[in-house]
Amino acid sequence: MLKKIINDLKKISNKEKALIFKKFFKTGKGEYGEGDEFLGINVPDVRKIAKKYKDLNLKDLKEFLKNKFHECRLCALMILRLQYESFENKKELVDFYLRNTQYVNNWDLVDLSCEYILGNWLLDKDRKILYQLAKSKNLWERRIAIISTFEFIRHRQFIDILKLSEILINDNHDLIHKAVGWMLREVGKRDEKVLKDFLDKHYQKMPRVMLRYAIEKLSKNIRKKYLG
């Protein structure tokens, strides 16, 4: 079945889009996506194929997730996400996800998977794994830690996003700055006071990108205050 899925993806590949994606996802030497390869397939089309093969077994899914093509890894994560929604033993899938984070190696792969699998699983559980990931040397594991909190934020659970933001406030990568700022902005959309209390303590040491993302939905005067 695995060969069939890959063939289905290759049938709808697009060389022109692949070249655009290689630039968009920063695949040059020294960039965060260095060496990644693309088929040139849009997310909605990858999602259609994932739905078609949502019953793929975990052994094949692991091989699929190791594929050199970005869209194959994305499709594997979408299948895992679909299985998580209906699978009775969700812990098995969460453990599978955590064992294979090395293949969740670009921001879209993180953002389209972690909150729906790891974040959802941790809604009513101990969240120490997120603090371990937040201290990882691996950029994508740190992003998994912060984006997974989106599921908590939707349920108005803000403690962990605030604590993780404090841990990551001095991170050296702009993809973490953007992710933290984005999650803080989502907190502010639900409770502006919680966001402003956090900003009052930390805005002076927040990276500029992180701060701009966090305050994007606040009023002009409040944004001016923090940027000033």
Per-residue pLDDT at 202: 97
Radius of gyration of the chain (CA): 18
Per-residue pLDDT at 100: 97
User: Distance (Å, rounded) from C-alpha 204 to C-alpha 8?
Assistant: 51
Q: Are 184 and 213 in contact (CB under 8 A)?
A: yes
Per-residue pLDDT at 207: 97
Entry pTM? 0.95
Widest distance between CA atoms in the chain: 57
pLDDT tens across the length of the chain (228 residues): 899 999 999 999 999 999 999 999 999 999 999 999 999 999 999 999 999 999 999 999 999 999 999 999 999 999 999 999 998 899 999 999 999 999 999 999 999 999 999 999 999 999 999 999 999 999 999 999 999 999 999 999 999 999 999 999 999 999 999 999 999 999 999 999 999 999 999 999 999 999 999 999 999 999 999 998
Nearest Cα neighbor of 140 from 166, 172, 103 is 103
Per-residue pLDDT at 200: 97
Residues 195, 196, 198, CA angle at the centre, nearest 5°? 65
Per-residue pLDDT at 228: 86
Domain range list for the chain: 1-103, 113-228
What class does CATH assign to 1-103? mainly alpha
**Which CATH architecture is the domain 113-228 placed in?**
Alpha Horseshoe (1.25)
Per-residue pLDDT at 88: 87
Residues 204, 185, 137, CA angle at the centre, nearest 5°? 70
Any residues with CB less than 8 A from the CB of 33 and at least 6 apart, and which? 25, 26, 27, 105, 106
SS3 187: helix
